[in-house]
Amino acid sequence: MTLSNSISQYSLESDELAIWFLGQSGYLIKSRDAVIAVDPYLSDFVENKNGLNDRFAKRRYPPPLDPSSLSFVEAVLITHGHNDHMDPWTLGALPGPFDLFLTEVAWNQNKVSGKMRTVIRVEPFDNYETCGFSVTPIPAAHYDVYDPKTQKVCSVSYVVKYGDHTLFFWGDGIMYEGLIDHLGKYRFDYFFAPINGRDWFREKLGIVGSIGSRELVELTKYLNIDTVSPNHFDLFSVNGENPNHFLHYLATENPNQRAIVLQAGENIVLKKCP
């Protein structure tokens, strides 16, 4: 059975959620009634000569599923316009119809086509409802929070609520003044965040980085997180990280914090709250 068939047939009770990791910062979130996606990168657009043609960013493994098989996806949340998060080939292959959520800056930066039912240009801290999920964008700094031309927020992360469950999806970004205050208002069941880091050598290649393992561990000390799960470590060797480094720092600096490292295609299930 293919992964997409397994997801389609996966049975859930009311107020239960299943979350599949797609690699990089991509996820599928399934409730009993709907499936939504976050930053699905399910092609080789970045490295393909007919796409971005980036000679440094080679996939380390093939996509775990074919986007054309995801007829059940009803909404897609995009954190920012970089093609490993907002992939025109993945979005164009989705059977649809689906609602697309993204910033105005991302939409203008990376025009995409597809079977979108609606395109929602999100504003930070506004609340959006889709398929029974409540979605709140939080500004993300990758590296800038605001576009210098328009003064609009460039990138966002998403607080996603369903029933009593609260999730956080962070595609890319670094710390900035005020972020801890924004996130400190929530109690997160799962907190998905990047650990690929950044350095002078990658920046010389034009790679815009994110927080690293140490920073994510430090952040967990300030927030109410049940389980933290790193992302953005596995797909590109040139911009990855060994998640064991993250687990080592966590065991040393915040040993009571629960964590899980997912591999592409793996899933977790959130049961009903007692």
Phi, psi of 218 (to 5 degrees): -60, -40
- pTM equals 0.95
Phi, psi of 52 (to 5 degrees): -80, -25
* CA–CA gap between residue 24 and residue 39 (Å, rounded): 9
Residue type, 153: V
For domain 17-270, the CATH architecture is 4-Layer Sandwich (3.60)
Tens digits of pLDDT across the chain (274 residues): 799 999 999 999 888 999 999 999 999 999 999 999 999 999 999 999 999 999 888 999 999 999 999 999 999 999 999 999 999 999 999 999 999 999 999 999 988 999 999 999 999 999 999 999 999 999 999 888 888 888 899 999 999 999 999 999 999 999 999 999 999 999 999 999 999 988 888 888 887 789 999 999 999 999 999 999 999 999 998 888 999 999 999 999 999 999 999 999 999 999 876 5
Domain ranges (residues) in the chain? 17-270
